[in-house]
């Protein structure tokens, strides 16, 4: 399947008289076609230069809709390279309970969120809201 994605323009504003060549080389290497403009060169009528809060962008709304305490638990557990069993042993619950929380079959209460946060070195509100 072929998907066509319209990539938004990335704008980086640097308050300096000149931009170091190493920085420009780095940007071109990592981002391809980089246009260097002077402050004030972005026209308000240019639709590509229009900005909006990230919370209003469709990709953010879709990503936020898929964010759940269980999904966050799975992501942060994997980032710590822990298995469900290892996390369960660390906080004193069964592996099945971790599985149920990650899948959304079991809610994550505040006390459990605090325990998960301590075990994964994350704020508890990553797992409870």
Query: Is position 56 within any domain?
Result: no
Of the pLDDT bands very low, low, confident and very high (cuts 50, 70, 90), residue 64 is confident
pLDDT in tens, 3-48: 555 666 666 666 666 777 788 788 778 777 776 666 554 444 445 5
Instruction: Please classify residue 72 by burial: count the beta carbons closer than 10 Å to its beta carbon, then call 0-12 exposed, 13-18 middle and 19+ buried.
Output: buried
Helices (H), the chain: 21-31, 58-66, 69-79, 84-91, 95-103, 110-120
Cβ-contact 51, 82 below 8 angstroms: no
pLDDT in tens, 66-124: 789 999 999 999 999 999 999 999 999 999 999 999 999 999 999 999 999 999 999 99
Does the reported pTM lie above 0.85? no
Q: Domain limits at 103?
A: 68-126
- The 3-class secondary structure across 37-67, one letter per residue, is CCCCCCCCCCHHHCCCCHHHCHHHHHHHHHC
Q: Quick one: DSSP state of residue 6?
A: -
Query: Is position 11 within any domain?
Result: no
Give me the number of domains the chain comprises: 1
CATH code: domain of residue 74 = 1.10.260.40
């Amino acid at each position: 399947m072929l998907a066509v994605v319209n990539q938004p323009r990335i704008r980086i504003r640097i308050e300096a008289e000149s931009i170091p060549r190493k920085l420009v080389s780095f940007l071109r290497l990592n981002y391809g076609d980089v246009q260097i403009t002077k402050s004030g060169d972005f026209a308000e009528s240019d639709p590509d230069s229009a900005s909006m809060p990230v919370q209003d962008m469709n990709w953010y709304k879709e990503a936020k809709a898929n964010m759940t305490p269980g999904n966050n638990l799975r992501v942060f557990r994997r980032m710590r390279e822990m298995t469900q069993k290892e996390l369960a042993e660390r906080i004193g619950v069964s592996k099945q309970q971790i599985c149920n929380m990650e899948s959304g079959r079991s809610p994550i209460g505040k006390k459990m969120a605090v325990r998960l946060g301590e075990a994964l070195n994350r704020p508890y509100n990553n797992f409870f809201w």
